[in-house]
Amino acid sequence: MALVVFPDGSRRDFPDGVSAAAVLKELGQRLQKEALVARVNGRVADLATVLPQEVEIEFLTFADEEGRDVYRHSSAHILAQAVKRLYPQAKLAIGPAISDGFYYDFDVPAPFTPEDLNRIEAEMARIIKEDLPITRFELSREEARALFEAAGEDYKVEIIDELPPESVISCYRQGEFIDLCAGPHVPSTGCIKAVKLLSVAGAYWRGDERNKMLQRIYGTSFPKRSLLEEHLHRLEEAKRRDHRRLGAELDLFSVREEGPGLPFFHPKGVVLYNELVSFWREEHRRRGYQEIKTPILLRRELWERSGHWDHYKENMYFAMIDEQPYAIKPMNCPGCILLYQRRLHSYRELPIRIGEMGLVHRHELSGVLHGLMRVRSFTQDDAHIFCRRDQVKAEILAIIEIVEYFYRTVFGFDYHVELSTKPEEAMGDEAIWELAEAALREALDETGMPYRVNVGEGAFYGPKIDFHLRDCLGRTWQCGTIQADFVMPEKFDLFYIGEDGQRHRLVMLHRVVFGSLERFIAILTEHFAGAFPVWLAPVQARVLPITERHTAYAAEVTCFLEEAGVRAELDARNEKVSYKIREAQVQKVPYMLVVGDREISEHTVSVRHRAEGDLGPMPPGVIRDRIVAEIKARRI
RNA sequence: GCUGGGGUAGCUCAACGGCAGAGCAGCUGACUUGUAAUCAGCAGGUUGUGGGUUCAAAUCCCAUCCCCAGCUCCA
């Protein structure tokens, strides 16, 4: 007998050799219909899996993340099968589930066209209609090799050859199609209800640009047509939040052909920018930071000394001035270091925290430029902390606290953390890197926050903690970062005078909180869909006189607000109020103040909030106080 | 940088070898307006740029720039 334990703790006996599917038959109708795979003793497995003697089992549906991944993964197999039917010469690479769907990479002689996608989608529908059972079988490494070699599937053979010796090699079969795959999968192709192929793009084999470029087809699938429609609708909605679109609509910024990746900030965008900077200054002054400004252009020698010339040249811009080679700064650290070196520093001064709103220029590949998210000139809210070794951890913790305060408390963002370790091209010896990594890791562990390790993604001079935020489509962008640097202090011979009167090597921390003002503004715009919190809103209140005879009073109200520090505007155009309101709404102005005969005689304003609607009449002082309080509290 | 798609009025788009158009925005005038678009008129273009094919090119071909999606890379 097999003892089966369910998630609710209930237990039942089944005959030996019972499958998960057979157990499922004894359960509720709804679950039978929706179950895709089972979690068997913690491992996700096919429903056909034969259960061991004593087992904890849980059935997973599309509602579970793992169930969803399996569903999408099976969809990817159907995609591959369809492609093989239509293009037998196509070679299969990999086809995983991703957050909102799946993709499959193919090596084909000619790239797929959008019309090809339609044909493939139609073939997928046929495969789904055929309702082919999806079955697993295991085989030896030699058998697997022989199978895929005979089929001409070079990539699969490569994958097999690189599987660790102890691994079980499995394949999944559906009709005439067999794919090397660890699984699990849904029981049959008919389980997939609604599929849509979304796009084709080139993708390097194994993500390495030295390898062949394959054709990647992206798609998504859902158990119901309506869920797919909803998802596609959400994608459309997300596009309305796109900061590039809102940037133009709200007149915040633009990028022109005259300078790809070199953004122009418009007056309204600058208001936002300045608000962020003054908030940043306030918070950093409070936390013991000084602020400096260093040149954008410095002699090339400096960059040779810092290692940028050797490790970062490809990303830098250069200039000749009076026959001397110069470089435009891609980072602020060398400039800051020069200032640290201008005099001796006592151990009593440490840690020294020096901030800089530094405008840097980096030659990013043309294909990666993206609105304000990825540009070639941007302002980092940089700071460098010069400290003793025993101060490193406390300093890192203090920076993490600033990030948490900014991101979560002030802006209400959700974020995730990554630890990036030594890259291939790095300066400094192994021991120094281990020390630096340990410092970051210890601090992170102390906070208890979860983090992912990003192997080989660190800066060339040190490992880093990265803070990532999401855009409107769920893509993540690195914003904040903390880098522990034991290398630059060596390169530039940075020291302090200790209690003993001797020179001691110090440690340098590089850090940004916003990351870059540009990227942060982009994230901010998408997160709030352009309806910025009042303290950031370029226009905080717009006064709307009903007719010309109310303009004088409206101007008075506008002045009254401006005197209290509110960014108020008067809309004196000869238009109907409804027209002015619509415009103010479209511009996401938080407060609209309507004034007409009634307001003049009662000395009030009729207030409309962009989200709450008509708030009724109130004395100007009341709404002024409300707005001022909201600004002061930086309410979100 | 690579793969694919795309660039037509300030914006969104139509015309897809045969006279370059519409809506919104803009300007002018009328209307004096009460919580998401008043009406009428006017103006707006070397169809990204350069070359080619053709009697004729926005449309076909080549090159180039820029944009979009993805890959790679990064704040």
Q: A75-111: per-residue pLDDT in tens?
A: 999 999 999 999 998 999 999 999 889 999 999 888 8
Give the model's pLDDT for residue A632.
96
Higher pLDDT residue, A292 or A11? Answer: A292
Q: What is the pLDDT of residues A107-143, one digit of tens each?
A: 988 888 878 888 899 999 999 999 999 999 988 888 8
Query: If you measure CA to C1', which residue is closest to nucleotide B3?
Result: A202
Higher pLDDT residue, A7 or A613? Answer: A613
The H or E element that residue A383 is part of is strand A377-387
Contacts of A500 (CB under 8 A, 6+ apart): none
Q: What secondary structure, in 3-state letters, does A93-131 show?
A: CCCCEECCEEEEEEECCCCCCHHHHHHHHHHHHHHHHHC
Higher pLDDT residue, A383 or A209? Answer: A383
pLDDT tier for residue A51 given thresholds of 50, 70 and 90: confident
Give the model's pLDDT for residue A50.
83
Mark whether A416 is an active-site residue: no
Mark whether A542 is an active-site residue: no
Query: What is the DSSP secondary-structure string of A465-500?
Result: EEEEEE-TTS-EEEEEEEEEESSHHHHTT-EEE-TT
Lowest mean pLDDT of A27-31, A339-343, A396-400, name the range.
A27-31
Query: If you measure CA to C1', which residue is closest to nucleotide B68?
Result: A370
pLDDT tier for residue A31 given thresholds of 50, 70 and 90: confident
Nearest nucleotide, CA A257 to C1': B66
Alpha-helical regions (H) of A216-373: 225-241, 243-249, 267-286, 300-306, 308-312, 333-340
Residue A471 phi, psi dihedral angles, 5° rounding: -95, -175
Q: Which of A216, A268, A384, A567 is catalytic?
A: A384
Q: Using alpha carbons only, how large is chain A's radius of gyration in Å? A: 30
Q: What is the pLDDT of residues A307-319, one digit of tens each?
A: 999 999 999 999 9
pLDDT tier for residue A49 given thresholds of 50, 70 and 90: confident
Give the model's pLDDT for residue A347.
96
pLDDT tier for residue A210 given thresholds of 50, 70 and 90: confident
Give the model's pLDDT for residue A365.
93
Give the model's pLDDT for residue A607.
98
CA A423 to CA A59: how far, in whole Å?
42
Mark whether A313 is an active-site residue: no
Q: How far is CA A66 from CA A453, A477, A493, A586, A619, in A?
A: 22, 25, 52, 40, 57
Nearest nucleotide, CA A245 to C1': B11
Bases of chain B below 7 A from a protein C-beta are: 1-5, 11, 30-38, 65-75
Nearest nucleotide, CA A550 to C1': B32
Q: What is the pLDDT of residues A393-434, one digit of tens each?
A: 999 999 999 999 999 999 999 999 999 999 988 898 899 999
Lowest mean pLDDT of A55-64, A346-355, A386-395, name the range.
A55-64
Q: Which of A380, A478, A483, A587 is catalytic?
A: A380
CA A345 to CA A336: how far, in whole Å?
14
Give the model's pLDDT for residue A6.
81
pLDDT tier for residue A591 given thresholds of 50, 70 and 90: very high
Q: Which of A242, A382, A471, A571 is catalytic?
A: A382
pLDDT higher than threshold 80 for residue A2:
no
Q: What's the average model confidence in pLDDT over A491-513?
A: 96
Nearest nucleotide, CA A599 to C1': B34
Q: Which of A510, A580, A588, A624 is catalytic?
A: A510
Give the model's pLDDT for residue A41.
84
CA A287 to CA A403: how far, in whole Å?
13
Q: Are A253 and A263 in contact (CB under 8 A)?
A: yes
Residue-averaged pLDDT of chain A: 92
Identity of residue A580 = K
Q: How far is CA A436 from CA A62, A311, A471, in A?
A: 43, 19, 31
Give the model's pLDDT for residue A426.
87
Beta bridge partners of A510: A384, A483
Mark whether A345 is an active-site residue: no
Give the model's pLDDT for residue A237.
84
pLDDT higher than threshold 90 for residue A234:
no
pLDDT tier for residue A24 given thresholds of 50, 70 and 90: confident
A231 burial (CB, 10 Å; 0-12 / 13-18 / 19+) is middle
What is the Cβ-side half-sphere exposure of residue A612, based on CA atoms within 13 angstroms? 9
Which sign does the torsion angle of CA A222, A227, A231, A233 carry?
positive
Mark whether A286 is an active-site residue: no
Q: Which of A244, A362, A542, A610 is catalytic?
A: A362
Residue A57 phi, psi dihedral angles, 5° rounding: -130, 145
Q: How far is the CA of A248 from the C1' of B17 (A)?
A: 36
Q: How far is the CA of A259 from the C1' of B50 (A)?
A: 20
Q: Are A223 and A197 in contact (CB under 8 A)?
A: no
Give the model's pLDDT for residue A114.
79
Q: How far is the CA of A121 from the C1' of B68 (A)?
A: 23
Q: What is the pLDDT of residues A265-302, one digit of tens each?
A: 999 999 999 999 999 999 999 999 999 999 999 999 99
Q: How far is the CA of A257 from the C1' of B18 (A)?
A: 34
Q: How far is the CA of A112 from the C1' of B55 (A)?
A: 38
- Strand segments, DSSP code E, in A555-602 are 568-570, 591-595
Q: What's the average model confidence in pLDDT over A593-612?
A: 96
CA A266 to CA A11: how far, in whole Å?
66
Q: What is the pLDDT of residues A614-629, one digit of tens each?
A: 999 999 999 999 999 9
Give the model's pLDDT for residue A379.
97
Contacts of A504 (CB under 8 A, 6+ apart): A347, A388, A495, A496, A497, A498
Query: If you measure CA to C1', which residue is closest to nucleotide B37?
Result: A579
Q: Which two tokens stand for residue A442?
A: 């210890």
Of A592, A543, A599, A535, the residue nearest A572 (C-alpha): A543
Domains within chain A, CATH numbers bracketed? 2-60 (3.10.20.30), 65-236 (3.30.980.10), 253-296+329-527 (3.30.930.10), 541-633 (3.40.50.800)
Q: What is the pLDDT of residues A444-465, one digit of tens each?
A: 999 999 999 998 889 999 999 9
pLDDT tier for residue A54 given thresholds of 50, 70 and 90: confident
Cα pseudo-dihedral A536, A539, A541, A543, rounded to 10: 180
Q: Which of A308, A464, A468, A608 is catalytic?
A: A464
Q: How far is the CA of A583 from the C1' of B37 (A)?
A: 9
Mark whether A452 is an active-site residue: no
pLDDT tier for residue A8 given thresholds of 50, 70 and 90: confident
Q: Which of A171, A181, A191, A333 is catalytic?
A: A333
Q: How far is the CA of A385 from the C1' of B70 (A)?
A: 38
Q: How far is the CA of A4 from the C1' of B33 (A)?
A: 75
* CA angle (A438 as vertex; A437, A443 as ends), nearest 5: 105
Q: How far is the CA of A417 from the C1' of B3 (A)?
A: 31
Residue A578 CB neighbour total at 10 angstroms: 9
pLDDT higher than threshold 90 for residue A239:
no
Mark whether A333 is an active-site residue: yes
Q: How far is CA A61 from CA A39, A64, A189, A195, in A?
A: 11, 6, 16, 17
Contacts of A566 (CB under 8 A, 6+ apart): A540, A541, A624, A627, A628, A631
pLDDT higher than threshold 90 for residue A16:
no
Lowest mean pLDDT of A112-121, A215-224, A518-527, name the range.
A112-121
pLDDT higher than threshold 80 for residue A28:
no
CA A375 to CA A331: how far, in whole Å?
14
Identity of residue A167 = S
Nearest nucleotide, CA A380 to C1': B75
